[in-house]
Structure 1
Amino acid sequence: MNIESARKWLRGGLIALAALQTFASAWQYIFPRSFYDDFPTVNLDPPYNEHLITDIGGLGLALAGILWFAAWALDNKVMISALIGYLIYAALHFLFHVRHFEHFSLPEALGVGTGLGAEVVLAVALLYLAGRVYQAQRTAK
């Protein structure tokens, strides 16, 4: 894969992560009660706390902003930084949920585990690709 093709994949992947993060975080921040009541499986977690949900939504929007900027800039250091931050968040979120499936049905557990796991896999793949592009550009100079 050449650098330009890799950069296109990176931009597409960063946009996908940013869009997903924006959607969930904006919902959390703007409509916290709806997020708690209507987002699949969230109401299976501990009791509703508006402050906590809106704070998490705000942090998620900050992360989404960094991902959007990385997708726009396509600067290696910005992309790698954004992806490391996202990967830490996504991996910890995934780990929490896979340890707390006791109130979930099998389809709910599979849906949550698969969805959150896919975010981790995509972030790892994009981070690997960004690292390869970075190395290729360094050796080309």
Structure 2
Amino acid sequence: MNPTATWLRAGLLALAALQTLVSVWQYVFPRSFYDDFPTVSLDPPYNEHLLSDVGGLGLALTAMLFFAAGVMERRVVLSALTGYVIYAGTHFLFHVRHFDHFSLRDAIGVGTGLGLEWALALVLLYVAWRHHRAAV
């Protein structure tokens, strides 16, 4: 591997490690993150910062999916879909555990919609894996 690729890989791994630490903390222990991460608990109940950050992450995922669809390169497609499967799965799991204040109709609608989104992502990941495996 050439020196530029080595530095690029090291940088990608460093960013991934930092993002993993923060993301796991946010997802697994959200109350701890809110209470213990400096300045987060200072935000008001309506948290524009949180919503704009999540929206930005969604736009990043969107860009990855569009790029994957454009280039149709095996690794790009598989990595974009893997990221989307994780996002859609964690989003679905959160909602199905928090239907306390939902009407039955809303709970069924949200649960079904998010479940179908996750299922579609899983099917696409499987199809992409099989397609690219057969092409090798």
TM-score interval, smaller chain: 0.5 to 0.7
The match for 1:44 is: none
The match for 2:100 is: 102
The match for 1:135 is: 133
Unaligned runs of 5+ in 1: 1-46
Question: Identity across aligned pairs (percent)?
Answer: 62
Bigger Rg over Cα: 2
The match for 1:88 is: 86
In the TM superposition, structure 1's runs of 4+ consecutive aligned residues that sit over 3 Å from their partners are none
One of 87, 108, 115 as aligned partner of 1:117: 115
Alignment of 1:46-85 (within 5 A): 47-85=45-83
Deviations 1:21-65 (A, max 9, x none): xxxxxxxxxxxxxxxxxxxxxxxxxx5211110010000000000
In 1, Cα distance between the equivalents of 2:123 and 2:56? 26
In 2, Cα distance between the equivalents of 1:54 and 1:106? 29
Unaligned runs of 5+ in 2: 1-44
Count of residue correspondences: 92
Structure of higher RCO (CA pairs closer than 8 Å, 6+ residues apart) = 1
TM-score between the two structures when normalised by the length of structure 1: 0.64
RMSD in angstroms over aligned alpha carbons?
A: 0.8
TM-score between the two structures when normalised by the length of structure 2: 0.66
In 1, Cα distance between the equivalents of 2:99 and 2:123? 26
Alignment of 1:12-31 (within 5 A): none
